[in-house]
Amino acid sequence: MTDVLRRGRASLAFGFFAQGVAFALLVTRIPAVQDRYGVSDALLPVFLAAVPVLAGVGSVTTEQLVKRIRPSRLLRWSQPVVLLALLGVGAGGHGQVAALAVALGVFGLAVGALDASMNMLGVSLQRSYGRSIMLGFHAAYSLGGILGASLAWAGAHWHLALWVSYLPVVAVLLPATLVGSRWYVDAEPAPAAERSGERGTVVFRLLLPLCLVMTFAYIGDSTVSNWSAKYLKDVLGSSEQLATVPYNVYMVTTLVGRSLGDLGVRRFGAVAVVRLGALVAAGGFAVVAVAPGAWVGMLGFTLLGLGLCVLVPQTFAAAGRLFPHASDAAIARLNIFNYVGFLIGSPLVGALGDAWSYRGAVLVPMVLVLVTLGYARSFAAQPDRYGGGHERPRTADVGRGSNGL
């Protein structure tokens, strides 16, 4: 394997890591953001919904931009914008709601472009490697999320102003990501006729199963991130301190599962790994739903992390295999359903929990995750497109590095 590929893989993994840090620093400090700006409880959901909606717009825009601009260039400049927008969120003061809206709007648009271009490069690098490496990139994102959440906890514990928490992180990550972006590796572009032949209605019909899997995975993920603490405290009777643990457990097991997942794909194939992940995640939801106490509930959240963690990276990888000559467009469209799941998941579980019961509500994402089993064949390797068996032979064609952009 060439040094170009190794450097490209390492620099992209760091990009995933930096994004995990930034996103965790934002979402885990939402209460502090609300207090700092004086945002009412009625207005807060509007702000929170606007971010994924604008991220979807950013992903759609990226699909059009990559027809003219390399994904590495989009990633190189969208990542600093995300970090500066994060700093902008922390810089305002009480009553400056318009400034918060602008900062969150920029964050949402940039994060959509960032997520899409990041996964485009990951898929093209996996194709060049000829073996599964996508889970490793998402493991780096999980590691960044754990660090970001830990830094957010420290900021809250020491009662630091948001800008004091955010500024050192941005000061370190922004130049580091710009330097690392010199080694991003783009895929060689496919001939225009081939690319245009794989777009349109046929593409979406084939992509639809993966879009549904992406949506269901993020409904499950948002259920954990938004409701695990409340569930443990209000339903299972834990202490307030213990109620903060499930999400951390979920993040750690997500990191473990993704760190080991590529080995499983290489050994058993993507279909088997996705099926196992769906079954383990569904078992986790079932354990949470019937748990008699907090510690059994914690076991359920542990299983959820191990199961859900493989679905999203493998969905992006499957899109790249299905449409090798239009993978950038497929990934940009697929990425939209990341935000669809995020938007649906939390309100869905909350509404069902209030109208029915939270034990019953968590069975809904369980059923949706089980539906993934019916789409598992969409994750199979395409022998005519991506080599035979689980992997294809490594190639010497590594695409173009972005140093010369």
Residues 161 and 259 in one domain: no
- More confident of the two residues 93 and 280: 280
Residue 399 pLDDT > 60: no
Residues 104 and 253 in one domain: no
Q: Which domain holds residue 100?
A: 1-176
Residues 88 and 211 in one domain: no
Mean pLDDT on 50-76: 95
Residue percentage of the chain with pLDDT more than 90:
71
Q: Express each pLDDT in 102-139 by its tens digit.
A: 999 999 999 999 999 999 999 999 999 999 999 999 99
Q: Express each pLDDT in 168-211 by its tens digit.
A: 999 999 999 999 999 999 976 554 444 444 443 335 888 999 99
Q: Is residue 390 assigned to a domain?
A: no
Residue 385 pLDDT > 50: no
Q: For the chain, what is the domain count?
A: 2
Predicted local distance difference test score (pLDDT) of residue 332:
93
Mean pLDDT on 219-228: 91
Residues 323 and 379 in one domain: yes
Q: Is residue 405 assigned to a domain?
A: no
Predicted local distance difference test score (pLDDT) of residue 105:
96
Q: Model confidence at 248, in pLDDT bands (50, 70, 90)?
A: confident
Q: Is residue 193 assigned to a domain?
A: no
Q: What is the mean pLDDT of the chain?
A: 88
Q: Is residue 264 assigned to a domain?
A: yes
Q: Model confidence at 214, in pLDDT bands (50, 70, 90)?
A: very high
Task: Of 168-182, 299-313, 319-333, 370-384, give the lowest mean pLDDT range.
Answer: 370-384
Predicted local distance difference test score (pLDDT) of residue 397:
36
Predicted local distance difference test score (pLDDT) of residue 48:
85
Predicted local distance difference test score (pLDDT) of residue 400:
39
Residues 164 and 207 in one domain: no
Residues 11 and 70 in one domain: yes
Predicted local distance difference test score (pLDDT) of residue 28:
82
What is the three-state SS of the chain?
Answer: CCHHHHHHHHHHHHHHHHHHHHHHHHHCCHHHHHHHHCCCCCCHHHHHHHHHHHHHHHHHHHHHHCCCCCHHHHHHHHHHHHHHHHHHHHHCCCCCHHHHHHHHHHHHHHHHHHHHHHHHHHHHHHHHHCCCCHHHHHHHHHHHHHHHHHHHHHHHHCCCCHHHHHHHHHHHHHHHHHHHHHHCEECCCCCHHHHHHCCCHHHHHHHHHHHHHHHHHHHHHHHHHHHHHHHHHHHCCCCCCHHHHHHHHHHHHHHHHHHHHHHHHHHHCHHHHHHHHHHHHHHHHHHHHHCCCHHHHHHHHHHHHHHHCCHHHHHHHHHHHHCCCCHHHHHHHHHHHHHHHHHHHHHHHHHHHHHCCHHHHCHHHHHHHHHHHHHHHHHCCCHHHHCCCCCCCCCCCCCEECCCC
Q: Is residue 239 assigned to a domain?
A: yes
- More confident of the two residues 225 and 315: 315
Residues 11 and 147 in one domain: yes
Q: Is residue 185 assigned to a domain?
A: no
Residues 91 and 206 in one domain: no
Q: Is residue 397 assigned to a domain?
A: no
Residues 210 and 171 in one domain: no
Residue 47 pLDDT > 80: yes
Residues 162 and 208 in one domain: no
Q: Is residue 251 assigned to a domain?
A: yes
Q: What is the CATH number for 307?
A: 1.20.1250.20
